[in-house]
């Protein structure tokens, strides 16, 4: 790899942005420690070194951990203390966690180290940055974190790689021992000094990284859900009058107004909508799943933005215990100190992770209901049963809705909160935990499920719009139909193997291609 050509993200004392996290986690950007971060790291390390030389026991520096904090560790055993901490805490089990999640976790731990609150040494932080630069990804297992004291086991697996132990995947994805990967990149493992093991593993970085990535995905998916809803309203001969801005203004939720505005824009210049807009139309009110789309999608948007506020606060935090503190007057000559705290507890993050799983389930639920209306002859306003070519001989899209229903049922189960559970650990020292990591893992599955449900609605609505010919859909929805047809998703016709077409639609939704096709025609959706 030509590292000079890899874009890099600067990590300083301030918070990492959503865009920077996405660039590092998903796009493979490298990172570099800014000068202010290096200065802050060195200053805090000086405090830890002074305390390590002191006769007074200091938690995390010269004592054991958790329920074993009462034991004072002699100087000659403190390097072993750090190694033992990391090795014992790297106790994960199960499937490997995705590369983007591990890279997000590494970046966020580095960001916390850069605040100058953890007491890490400069060379250890630099090696962590080098893992990201060289594409070395520690193997982290799915199970092991209680979300308090932070994501201990996942972070310990990453710290183990800095020691040259455990397994990693290189930039090509090849599984190998960490020592080999470091050597191939010209890097040397570190021998952890006082407090460094604790500084590397005590934070909410895993659950926070997954939260930020989910927010990024949901922001795109909710705009795509507006596209799907517009296609369904249009294909089912629904009215666009209910989306008028003056109707939204009398219930002034911001997300609702944005979603309704999108629907108005998406349906503009639709020949299908125009065909039944006149006085001869006998439709009084559309079904809730059509008429109330902005209310549901809008509430989801507002929830996502609340979660984003929590994530931004967490990105600006130093989640570690103990932390290095300095005189608040700004007197640089004042001695620093180390203070215990509870900022590693994942409750703030866990709650919104669970909240977003509810959002994913409900937006998928209304999407599935819109899809189902297309397939029922008694409710689809003149379309063939199941949109089949020869109903009875052909089943059309009957089973595509089954797939949606199965996913929605699973999403409802995943919407049960993880954060209301707590199992005491560490001999009752850690007697209340957040389960935020579990909330994050299930949210990732929820986002995937929502993507699939919306994709099936888009696929179904596109077939219905074709069946409305010679009436013309709006330019925006026509662009989606054209995209599907050029991507292996055929139009109406006799039954064929449906799964590949569903997967093609899922990829178009997940990649943002559906949204981009619309925005290329009508401009950016809100």
Catalytic sites, residue numbers? 59
> In 3D, which of 374, 401, 410 has the Cα closest to residue 498?
401
User: b/e map of 320-333 (b: 16 or more CB within 10 Å)?
Assistant: bbbbbebeeeeeee
> In 3D, which of 219, 214, 220, 36 has the Cα closest to residue 115?
36
DSSP string, 181-215: HHHHTT-------TTHHHHHH-SSHHHHHHHHHHH
The dihedral built from the CA positions of residue 140, 142, 144 and 147, taken in this order, carries a sign that is positive
The whole-angstrom distance between residue 142's C-alpha and the CA centroid of its chain comes to 15
C-beta separation of 214 from 204 below 8 A: no
How many other C-beta atoms are found inside a 10 Å radius of the C-beta of residue 284? 6
DSSP string, 346-385: -HHHHHHHHHHHHHHHHHHHHHHHHHHHHH-TTTTTSPPG
CA geometry: angle at 311 spanning 158 and 346, to 5°?
Answer: 60
Instruction: In whole angstroms, give the CA distance from residue 384 to residue 396.
Output: 9
Can you read off the two tokens belonging to residue 339?
Answer: 């203070």
C-beta separation of 114 from 41 below 8 A: yes
Residues in the chain: 526
Output 163-167 pairs: Cβ under 8 A, ≥24 positions apart.
163/83, 163/86, 163/189, 163/190, 163/191, 163/192, 164/188, 164/189, 165/87, 165/189, 166/90, 166/138, 166/139, 167/138, 167/139
């Amino acid at each position: 790899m030509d590292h000079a050509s890899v874009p890099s993200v600067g990590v300083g004392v301030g918070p990492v942005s959503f865009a920077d996290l996405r660039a590092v986690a998903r796009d493979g950007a490298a990172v570099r420690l800014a000068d202010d971060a290096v200065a802050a790291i060195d200053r805090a390390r000086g405090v830890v070194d002074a305390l390590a030389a002191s006769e007074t026991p200091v938690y995390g520096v010269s004592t054991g951990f958790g329920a074993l904090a009462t034991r004072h560790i002699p100087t000659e055993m403190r390097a072993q203390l750090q190694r033992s901490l990391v090795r014992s805490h790297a106790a994960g089990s199960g499937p490997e966690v995705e590369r983007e999640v591990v890279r997000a976790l590494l970046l966020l731990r580095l960001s916390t180290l850069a605040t100058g609150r953890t007491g890490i040494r400069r060379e250890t932080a630099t090696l962590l940055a080098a893992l990201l630069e060289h594409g070395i990804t520690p193997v982290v297992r799915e199970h092991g974190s209680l979300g308090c004291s932070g994501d201990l086991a996942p972070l310990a697996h990453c710290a183990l790689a800095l020691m040259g132990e455990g397994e990693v995947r290189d930039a090509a994805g090849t599984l190998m021992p960490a020592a080999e990967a470091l050597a191939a990149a010209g890097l040397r493992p570190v021998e952890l000094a006082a407090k460094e093991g604790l500084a590397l593993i005590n934070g909410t970085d895993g659950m926070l990284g997954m939260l930020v990535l989910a927010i990024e995905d949901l922001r795109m998916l909710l705009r795509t859900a507006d596209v799907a809803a517009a296609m369904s309203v249009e294909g089912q001969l629904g009215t666009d009058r209910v989306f008028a801005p003056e109707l939204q203004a009398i219930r002034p939720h911001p997300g609702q107004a944005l979603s309704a505005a999108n629907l108005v824009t998406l349906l503009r210049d639709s020949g299908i909508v125009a065909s039944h807009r006149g006085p001869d139309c006998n439709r009084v009110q559309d079904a809730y799943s059509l008429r109330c789309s902005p209310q549901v999608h809008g509430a989801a948007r507002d929830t996502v933005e609340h979660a984003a506020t929590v994530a931004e606060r967490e990105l600006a935090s130093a989640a570690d215990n103990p932390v290095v503190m300095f005189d608040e007057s700004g007197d640089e000559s004042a001695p620093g100190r180390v203070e215990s705290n509870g900022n590693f507890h994942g409750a703030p993050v866990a709650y919104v992770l669970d909240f977003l799983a509810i959002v994913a389930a409900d937006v998928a639920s209304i999407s599935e209901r819109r899809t189902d209306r297309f397939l029922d002859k008694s409710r689809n306003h003149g379309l063939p049963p199941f949109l089949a070519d020869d109903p009875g001989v052909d089943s059309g899209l009957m089973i595509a809705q089954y797939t949606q229903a199965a996913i929605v049922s699973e999403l409802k189960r995943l919407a049960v909160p993880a954060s209301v559970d707590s199992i005491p650990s560490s001999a009752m020292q850690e007697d209340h935990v957040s389960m935020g990591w579990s909330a994050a893992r299930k949210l990732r599955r929820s986002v995937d499920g929502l993507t699939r449900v919306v994709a099936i609605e888009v696929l179904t609505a596109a077939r219905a719009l074709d069946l409305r010919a010679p009436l013309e859909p709006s330019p925006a929805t026509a662009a989606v139909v054209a995209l599907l047809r050029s991507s292996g998703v055929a139009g109406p016709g006799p039954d064929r193997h449906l799964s590949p077409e569903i997967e093609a639609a899922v990829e178009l939704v997940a990649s943002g291609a559906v949204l981009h096709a619309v925005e290329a025609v009508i401009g950016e959706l809100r």
